[in-house]
Amino acid sequence: MYWEPDKECLDREELEQLQIERLQSTLTRVYAHVPFYRKKFDFVGVLPEDIESLSDLARLPFTTKDEVRGNYPYGMFAVPLREVVRIHATSGTVETAAVVGYTRNDIKTWSNLAARLLAAGGVTKDDVVQICFAYGLSTGGFGLHYGAERIGASVIPASIGNTARQIKIMKDFKTTALVSTPSYAMLVADTIREKGVPVSALSLKYGLFGAEPWSEEMRRQIQDTLGIVATDNYGLSEVLGPGVSGECLERKGLHINEDHFLAEVIDPETLRPVPAGQMGELVITTLTREAFPMIRFRTRDLTCILPESCPCGRTGRRMSRVAGRTDDMLVIKGAHVFPSHIGALLQEIGGGELCYQIVIDRRGAMDEVTVLVEADGGAFTGQERRQAGLADAIRKKLAHELGVTVDVKVVEKEALSRVEGKVKPVVDHRKL
């Protein structure tokens, strides 16, 4: 289901024309109204009018999270406060947060973009949408709430916490769409299973999850337990909040709202663009934000642009689900590898039942990774031969997906140390 078909399915050529026009107007505005950007552009000697094509964007400097924090609280606003109707902030302590503002138009745009991802994930005006994100300074709750209202759905601002109460609301209010983080959906699924609530007692049809990395395996479990279709969506407060990109019902990557955001994917070390299909750091430039425009913002989120077009008909390029953060990046034999990516692959292999630990050491300038896996999950129990087979299967899968070989050891059941019953997924000796 499209929310704004004329925009979501815009011809690529028209889209690029719109992007360059919006980019030029954004650059002119920030140069005139935000001293931070004026200084940066002057430093590299590039004026807004020098940016004549989308590829010229690479001539402009990046903006980092530290720079945004350094302008706390209002240093990066491009309009006077009297034009700002809403203020949000990123999580963390107040003084180290990024404070973001929205004009009336920004709120309207945001509602439409959140409506796009909700509609793409199946939500219509006939749905009852339960929003289990915090309603506060962070952008999750309000962003998706306005989007669901825009569609005309019946919105329950359930916020977070008290899972038993959430499930009671879900049952009694006949919630058809759950909006939350994927890990909260897992908690709901586990609680429903523990309490023996039959899925037939619920009216759930769709789950729209975002705000943290998750895996295909998690999606499978959530979909199976709750009997829903689960889609992934992405956004971050510094550039908007939820609504930057979202999956359609094909569930194969998130369509970027490219009429509002320019997305680049770069190598986090060389800072040069990587080709489509290759993992790197997502960099976003906003094209329509009035109060808080962002130029080449380094998100620290890892993703790749998917080269194929989507059968749904949307023309916005898709990004893969976020695989982790560049801050966690390891360098193994010259390749860039992320523990969260290894974790997701292990869950796929083990069907979620695998207990594992990724141990990281440093030798010289290189990181060394050993993956310890407990031989306790279903098909892999017992004999040494099977354990060797498991280690081999994991090694092959990781080599194939990561492009490097890592050390894999299968250990006995319960051999990995536990804290409060849980195995720590990553042990990093480099920081000790």
Q: Tell me how far apart the alpha carbons of residues 73 and 144 are, in angstroms, rounded to a whole number.
A: 24
Torsion of CA 277, 248, 343, 330, to 10 degrees: 40
**Stretch binding Zn ion (CB under 5 A), from 37-45, 83-91, 313-321, 326-334:** 313-321
Contact at 8 Å (CB) between 101 and 77? yes
**Stretch binding Zn ion (CB under 5 A), from 18-26, 72-80, 312-320, 344-352:** 312-320
Tokens of 92: 């963390």
Contact string 30-69 vs Zn ion (x = CB under 5 A): ----------------------------------------
User: Applying CB under 5 A, which of residues 310, 331, 411, 415 lies at the interface with Zn ion?
Assistant: 310
Contact string 216-255 vs Zn ion (x = CB under 5 A): --------------------------------x-x-----
Cite the beta strand spans of 340-432 per DSSP E. Answer: 356-363, 366-374, 407-411, 418-419, 422-423, 426-428
CB of 2 to Zn ion, least distance (A): 10
Contact at 8 Å (CB) between 125 and 152? yes
- Radius of gyration, alpha carbons of the chain: 23
CB of 241 to Zn ion, least distance (A): 22
Name the residue nearer to Zn ion (CB basis): 248 or 263.
248
Contact at 8 Å (CB) between 402 and 341? yes
**Stretch binding Zn ion (CB under 5 A), from 158-166, 203-211, 305-313, 386-394:** 305-313
Task: Give the contacts of 266 (CB within 8 A, at least 6 positions apart).
Answer: 272, 273, 274, 280, 281, 283
Query: Residue 73: is the preceding peptide bond cis (ω within 30°)?
Result: yes
Tokens of 140: 């999750």
Burial of 40 by CB count in 10 Å (0-12 exposed, 13-18 middle, 19+ buried)? buried
Name the residue nearer to Zn ion (CB basis): 286 or 315.
315
CB of 25 to Zn ion, least distance (A): 29
CB of 226 to Zn ion, least distance (A): 22
Instruction: Say which amino acid occupies 163.
Output: T
Q: Tell me how far apart the alpha carbons of residues 52 and 50 are, in angstroms, rounded to a whole number.
A: 6
CA 53 from chain center: how many Å? 28
Q: Tell me how far apart the alpha carbons of residues 84 and 350 are, in angstroms, rounded to a whole number.
A: 49
Name the residue nearer to Zn ion (CB basis): 248 or 323.
248
Tokens of 213: 């990395």
Name the residue nearer to Zn ion (CB basis): 296 or 318.
318
Name the residue nearer to Zn ion (CB basis): 1 or 331.
1
Q: Tell me how far apart the alpha carbons of residues 106 and 288 are, in angstroms, rounded to a whole number.
A: 8
Name the residue nearer to Zn ion (CB basis): 34 or 305.
305
Contact at 8 Å (CB) between 100 and 238? yes
Measured over the CA atoms of residue 229, residue 235, residue 241 and residue 245, the dihedral's sign is negative
CB of 11 to Zn ion, least distance (A): 16
Name the residue nearer to Zn ion (CB basis): 310 or 415.
310
CB of 124 to Zn ion, least distance (A): 17
Name the residue nearer to Zn ion (CB basis): 169 or 310.
310
CB of 308 to Zn ion, least distance (A): 10
Give the number of residues in contact with Zn ion, rule: CB under 5 A.
Answer: 5
Question: Which helix (DSSP H) or strand (DSSP E) does residue 350 occupy?
Answer: helix 339-350
CB of 250 to Zn ion, least distance (A): 5
**Stretch binding Zn ion (CB under 5 A), from 178-186, 208-216, 311-319, 402-410:** 311-319
What residues numbered 254-273 form the site for Zn ion, per CB under 5 A?
A: none
Of 131, 376, 334, 77, nearest to 242 by C-alpha is: 131
Of 216, 214, 210, nearest to 235 by C-alpha is: 210
Name the residue nearer to Zn ion (CB basis): 260 or 296.
260
User: Applying CB under 5 A, which of residues 312, 375, 394, 408 lies at the interface with Zn ion?
Assistant: 312
CB of 229 to Zn ion, least distance (A): 13
Name the residue nearer to Zn ion (CB basis): 160 or 310.
310
CB of 349 to Zn ion, least distance (A): 28
**Stretch binding Zn ion (CB under 5 A), from 31-39, 209-217, 308-316, 339-347:** 308-316
Neighbours of 414 (CB within 10 A): 11
Name the residue nearer to Zn ion (CB basis): 276 or 388.
276
CB of 126 to Zn ion, least distance (A): 22
> Which residues of this protein are in contact with Zn ion, per CB under 5 A?
248, 250, 310, 312, 314
